[in-house]
Amino acid sequence: MKSFYTIQVLYDELVTELSLKWNGEGGGARVYFNPQKQGGKQPAGPLNLIRPSQIQVIGPPEREHLLSGDANGYQERLGALFNTSPVALIFTDGLEPLPECQEWAIKNGTALFHTQQSDNHVINRLLERFSQPMEEKLLVHGVYMEVLGKGVLLSGNPAIGKSELALDLISRGHRLIADDATELYKTGSSTVNGRCPKVLQDFLEVRGLGLINIRAMFGNSAIKPNKQLHLIIDLLHFDDKKLHDMDRLEGCHSYRTLLGVEVPQTSLPVAAGRNLAILVETAVRQHLLMLDGYNATSDFIDRQQIYIDQE
């Protein structure tokens, strides 16, 4: 198991999930969760000046403690806090660091974050993250997109049209994470995230057009650094027999196991005249409805049975 990470890695992995805002972008190269260099400190915990964690989380009670007393006392407590050499401070529950705290952070090279989420949730999520080995990674072939706010892996044989489909989705306002090669990694016992290898970031290969820089062409909003994997869309060439045998009510839904986590998968037949971008959007919406407990097939069957009973 890798024994150290950097603050930039932390931010890239959890920025969306924890709604993190970075004050000043400083301290990104600092190392955390390295017991050999951190004197056995815990990786994360609530503000504690006696037994400090590497990442100190400051919620309403901790901020009240820092601000108690006069201005001199506040400065003394800030000095004591930064003398513990935290690699990052995270203000939670909608709190934001005061200017004096930002000054100390800049002087000490400490990353400073704030979020609307609760202190307990942030601490529990960080501790869960650090319990997962960084080596639990998997490189998969496919295009990784954020569609309607969900991480969607487009898989299928080479030349089936994954990149063209991605380009269509990007033009419809969705975001590219990775083309051709997607690096998956565990962020919890039942969650898998995906990101793009650095050498491939921002690029999409489209046959006939060559390499396209999506960021340069569509802007920063068309790129997403990473995202939790929610759904796999498997593109398949179906012959007439397979199309005939397909369950037209239920569709083709299954699960694929990646890094020990079962991920929902929908198979879509590729054929001339099928608008795959709309089908992918619909598959994501269908997945969201299923998560809420709604199944269109069951609804249809129940409606038909009521009609039959009335007749």
Of 37, 65, 137, 141, catalytic: 141
E strand spans, 159-278: 175-178, 181-188, 191-195, 203-206, 210-213, 226-236, 253-258, 261-269
Short-list 15, 13, 193, 221, CA closest to 113 = 15
Of 93, 119, 180, 234, catalytic: 180
Residue 141's alpha-carbon distances to 50, 90, 184, in angstroms, are 48, 36, 11
Structure tokens at 247: 């369950």
Structure tokens at 277: 């971008």
Of 41, 114, 150, 162, catalytic: 162
Short-list 128, 100, 109, CA closest to 6 = 109
Instruction: Verify whether residue 202 is a known catalytic residue.
Output: no
Of 198, 207, 244, 248, catalytic: 248
Per the CB < 8 A criterion, the answer to whether 88 and 110 are in contact is yes
Short-list 224, 210, 42, CA closest to 149 = 224
Per the CB < 8 A criterion, the answer to whether 216 and 169 are in contact is no
Instruction: Verify whether residue 180 is a known catalytic residue.
Output: yes
Q: Which residue has the tokens 């959007």?
A: 281
Residues annotated as part of the active site: 141, 162, 180, 248
